[in-house]
Amino acid sequence: MAGTEDRVFDGDLIRASLFNPDADRLFVTFRQRVNDPGTFSGASPVHSFIRHNHAHLHLQSRHNDWYINADTLEIAKVLRNLTSRYRRVSAIGFSMGGYAALRFSKPLRLRQLVAVSPQFTISPRLLPGDARYRDCADGFDDALGSLDATARRSLQGVILCDPFKRLDVVNAEMIQTVFPKLRICRLGGGGHPASRVLRQGGHFGELQTLLLSDEVDPARVIALHRTSRRESDHYWSHIAKVAARRQRPELAEFAAERADRLVAVAQAGRNPPDAS
């Protein structure tokens, strides 16, 4: 049954769950960094892909270790065998999950990817200027975690990043040197991960369904972001801060007022007046 979980890998540190296994195409997702690591989460299918004749594979790492651990090589073998039955494999991953999609791109036989604010590495030796994940990098194996050594270089798709998040742009550009067919989409004010505005605008589902096509169109992703930002208080709050730093007081005031109005509208929607 489509909604029944098939535990295809159940290691101490990595788990993989498969849904609707008899479909002819595969969609892959990954758990991103979590606030309370140490346990696995419940897995459930992405029904929008199940309805379009996709199997769904969900991977998760027990800890925030970027999937680089004692199970890494074994899960790669399982993925290599598993994905041979599917004619097309696509994926989406956020931050740590985006890195995992890149790291396992070859055994997954990954063809299309939406990577949202992924990392090239968390190694302090290889990228000393990015200290954001030092709490997770203890024991990170540079060789086992090397994207250059494990890349499926024909992988196509997009890397989403917020151009105001300098380190996310640095990582995206480093990734593109290894995966030359991935195109960078700069989504201003998107945050980390860079899909926050898309979620607020109600267009995240459309981002996912771009993977149902043969090619993810960067222009379409950017258009979805531009549509979403009109009604995103997160976007306008960010623009207000940037404008203030750049000494553009009129824009800062306009953006701050727009953000406040959107927050008020959202709060009113959550707390409608009592009609009694």
Residues forming a β-bridge with 88: 25
Residue 152 tokens read as 């499926």
In a domain, 258, yes or no: yes
Q: Which domain holds residue 264?
A: 232-271
In a domain, 77, yes or no: yes
Residues 175 and 254 in one domain: no
Residues 222 and 110 in one domain: yes
Confidence grade of residue 139 (pLDDT, cut at 50, 70, 90): confident
Residues 125 and 96 in one domain: yes
The pTM is what?
Answer: 0.92
pLDDT top residue among 275 and 84? 84
Residues 47 and 116 in one domain: yes
Residues 239 and 259 in one domain: yes
Average pLDDT of every residue of the chain: 93
Chain center to CA of 153: 19
* pLDDT single digits (tens) 236-246: 998 998 889 99
Confidence grade of residue 274 (pLDDT, cut at 50, 70, 90): low
Bin 59: left if φ > 0, else alpha if -120 < ψ < 50, else beta.
Answer: beta
